[in-house]
Amino acid sequence: MKALLITMGSRGDVQPYLALAKGLSEAGHRPLVAGPRRFRPSAAGHGIDYVPLPDETLDLRDAVKGRGARAAITAARSVKPMIRRLLDAQATLVERGGDVVVYHPKSLGGPYVAEKLGVPAIAGLLLPLYLPTAAFASPILPARPPRAFNRASWRVAAAVEAPYRGLMRRWRTEALGLDAGFRPVADLVKAGEVLHAWSPSLLPAPGDWPASAGPVGFWTLPPSDGWSPPERLVAFLERGDPPVYVGFGSMVPGDPQALTATVLEAVRRCGRRAVLATGWGGLRPPAPAADVLVIEEAPHDWLFPRVAAVVHHGGIGTVAAALRAGVPQVVRPFIGDQPFWAARLHHLGVAPAPLTARHLTAAALAAAITGAIASAPAARALGEQVSRENGVATAVTGILRSAAGSR
C-alpha cells in the first residue's frame, strides 16, 4: 500500500505523522510524508521519504509572535498568497499517486488531493476538533461555555477555515481540475473517516461519538539512531536527585526574562535543581549556577524519565511524552487546546490545577511543583497504562482497512 500523509504546523503537528510513516514502513508499506520544509532533516534522520512543503506561514507566525495584535493583523494580509503557494505544492503530490491519504486539517488541501486521486481520505486528528459532543466544549475555545452550549461550541473549528474557502474553491478547480462541488474541510472530516491520535487513557471517546471515532493512542516517534546526550547533561543528572524540567516549547510569553526569574525562584523554593529548555525563546538563559542546567532542547522520551516533574505549556506532544514517562506535570497553558489538556491532566490526578499567567507567581509555581511531585505514584500508574497502548499499530490497521475497502 502506498500511503500519502500530508501535515502542516509546528513540530507537534509533524512528529506524529513521521511516527505513523515509520509504522507503515515497518509494516511493509510505502509511506510518503509531505510537510513543512523545516522538518525535512528530522524525517531524514528516521529514514522517511519526505516532500518539503512551503512553510512561509510558519515563518510569518514566528516573526510576529509576541509583537502584539497590530503586528498580527498586518501579517494576516499576506497570508492568502502563502496559502495558495502551499496548496499548489500539495497539488503536485497527485503525480506521486497513492492508495490512501491521511491528512492534518491544517494542510487544508489534503482531502481534495485524495478526491483527485480517487482514494480514501482519512483525517488524522491530534486533538478533538470536528466531531461534536455534549460531553465537553471544543478544546480550541478560549473560554469554557456553560455545559448547555457544549455541542454548539464545535462550530468554531469550521469558522477558523472560513476566510480561505473562496481561495480553496478556486484552487481545487484551477490546480486539481475538480468540479465546483466544494465542501469545506470541516464538513469533509465530519462526514468521512477519522483517526484520533491521542491516548484513550488521557481522554476516552464520549458516549455520543460513533464507535469508529474512538482514540487509537498516541503516534509516537522512536528515538533517532544518531542522537546521544551531551556529556554535561548526563553529568548534571548524575550529580544529584532528579531535577525538575521546565520548557515551554514554541510559546513565547510577553516577558521571557521575568518568566525565567519566576521559574528559577520557584524551583529553588522547592529545594530542587532544574533543567531549563529555552526552546524558541520562552525562557532566557540565566547566569550560570550549579543547580540549573540550560539546554536548547533534548528528546523528551530520553530526558523525561530522568526528571522529577515536567513544567510545560500543555502542548499535546509534551503531554504525551510526560505521560509515557510516568512523571507528574505542571502546566502553564498559553493558547489553543493547551488549557483543555491541562484540565484533563488535573482531572486524572497527575497535575495540579493549571497555572494562568495572572496566577503564575514563584510561590504558586513552587506549590504546584511540590504538589505534582507528591502525585508521582499516580503518574507512574497512568504511564504504565499509556505505555501498553500502540497508537501507530492501531492506526496502521485502520488505514489498511480503509484502503482495502475502497478497492
CATH number at residue 247: 3.40.50.2000
Average pLDDT, the chain: 92
pLDDT at 74: 65
Q: Does residue 398 lie within any of the structural domains?
A: yes
Q: Does residue 193 lie within any of the structural domains?
A: yes
pLDDT at 303: 96
Q: Does residue 265 lie within any of the structural domains?
A: yes
H, E, C per residue of the chain: CEEEEECCCCHHHHHHHHHHHHHHHHCCCEEEEEEEHHHHHHHHHCCCCEEEECCHHHHHHHHHCCCCHHHHHHHHCCHHHHHHHHHHHHHHHHHHCCCEEEECHHHCCHHHHHHHHCCCEEEEECCCCCCCCCCCCCCCCCCCCCHHHCCHHHHHHHHHHHHHHHHHHHHHHHCCCCCCCCCCHHHHHHHCEEEECCCCCCCCCCCCCCHHHCCCCCCCCCCCCCCCCCHHHHHHHHCCCCCEEEECCCCCCCCHHHHHHHHHHHHHHCCCCEEEECCCCCCCCCCCECCEEEECCCCHHHHHHHCCEEEECCCHHHHHHHHHHCCCEEECCCCCCHHHHHHHHHHHCCCCCCCCCCCCCHHHHHHHHHHHHHCHHHHHHHHHHHHCCCHHHHHHHHHHHHHHHCC
* Residue-range definition of the domain harbouring residue 250: 231-387
pLDDT at 272: 96
pLDDT band at 114 (very low <50, low <70, confident <90, very high): very high
**In total, how many domains does the chain have?**
2
Residues 344 and 366 in one domain: yes
For the ranges 69-73, 158-162, 189-193, 362-366, which has the lowest average pLDDT? 69-73
Q: Does residue 281 lie within any of the structural domains?
A: yes
Q: Does residue 224 lie within any of the structural domains?
A: no
pLDDT at 73: 61
Residues 178 and 55 in one domain: yes
Does the pLDDT value for residue 69 go beyond 70?
A: no
pLDDT at 71: 60
pLDDT, one tens digit per residue, over 325-354 is 999 999 999 988 999 999 999 999 999 999
Residues 11 and 105 in one domain: yes
Q: Does residue 27 lie within any of the structural domains?
A: yes
pLDDT, one tens digit per residue, over 2-19 is 999 999 998 889 999 999
Does the pLDDT value for residue 222 go beyond 90?
A: no
pLDDT band at 270 (very low <50, low <70, confident <90, very high): very high
Higher pLDDT, 70 or 196: 196
Residues 76 and 187 in one domain: yes
Q: Does residue 342 lie within any of the structural domains?
A: yes
pLDDT band at 159 (very low <50, low <70, confident <90, very high): confident
pLDDT at 249: 85
Residues 269 and 366 in one domain: yes
Distance of alpha carbon 400 from alpha carbon 362, whole angstroms: 51
pLDDT at 379: 98
Q: Does residue 225 lie within any of the structural domains?
A: no
* pTM of the predicted model as reported, rounded to 2 decimal places: 0.93
Residues 189 and 94 in one domain: yes
Does the pLDDT value for residue 76 go beyond 80?
A: no
Residues 194 and 60 in one domain: yes
Residues 277 and 191 in one domain: no
Does the pLDDT value for residue 44 go beyond 60?
A: yes
pLDDT band at 68 (very low <50, low <70, confident <90, very high): low
pLDDT band at 225 (very low <50, low <70, confident <90, very high): low
Residues 181 and 236 in one domain: no
pLDDT band at 227 (very low <50, low <70, confident <90, very high): confident
Residues 196 and 262 in one domain: no
Residues 396 and 376 in one domain: no
Residues 108 and 179 in one domain: yes
pLDDT at 70: 64
